[in-house]
Chain A
């Protein structure tokens, strides 16, 4: 039972490069989320999706794009990486049906922009 899987786990980019982070979940969850975690700031929501084909902006969406073409996958893209995007990125998913259900998290992606 894999749960939420993030790819890659580590990546180093140069300023201006682009990349895509992949999140896959096998729990048939409707909701998926991308967060960034920076020291002293907890988790900040970048974008989220309430279903296949739908996405919405979170708290810190600038510089990122997302897509959810399949229910099980949620992609986070950086079109032109900037040093301010150096962070640990977490993907999470949750079910729609019961509000007391928590989010399930991937193991995170550590991204460094030089």
Chain B
């Protein structure tokens, strides 16, 4: 069974600094997709970034980038130049065919 693990329940970062959120997953498949979602206090689930497992190049979206290590089954999210608006719960998700699996989330606090 596919599982997704986020080992950091809560993290803090100073405004303008960089923080990395960890995510590992367990799968025997080779063709899958990975996502990071952000959930602010408004409860909306907002897509941050996505990665195709067949691509070796790490995805980037402005201040957000991933470190995808397929052999290690690791998919960490790096947030550069952290802003107060980045404070939220972050969920890592794995997609294989029609199923999505989510980690338990990391709460990110941003200190001014």
Contact = CB atoms under 8 A, between A and B. Distances in A.
Contacts of B37: 102
Contacts of A100: 33, 50, 52
Contact of B104 (A42, A50, A94, A99): A42
A102 B35 contact: yes
Interface stretch (B41-49, B63-71, B73-81): B41-49
B9 A40 contact: yes
Interface of B: 6, 9, 31-33, 35, 37, 42-45, 47, 50, 52, 91, 93, 95, 97-100, 102-105
Interface of A: 31, 33, 35, 40-45, 48, 50, 88, 90, 92, 94, 96, 99-100, 102-103, 105, 107-108
28 contacts: A35-B102, A40-B9, A40-B104, A40-B105, A41-B104, A42-B6, A42-B102, A42-B105, A43-B102, A44-B102, A45-B100, A50-B98, A90-B45, A92-B100, A94-B98, A94-B100, A96-B98, A99-B95, A99-B97, A100-B33, A100-B50, A102-B47, A102-B50, A102-B93, A105-B44, A105-B45, A107-B43, A107-B44
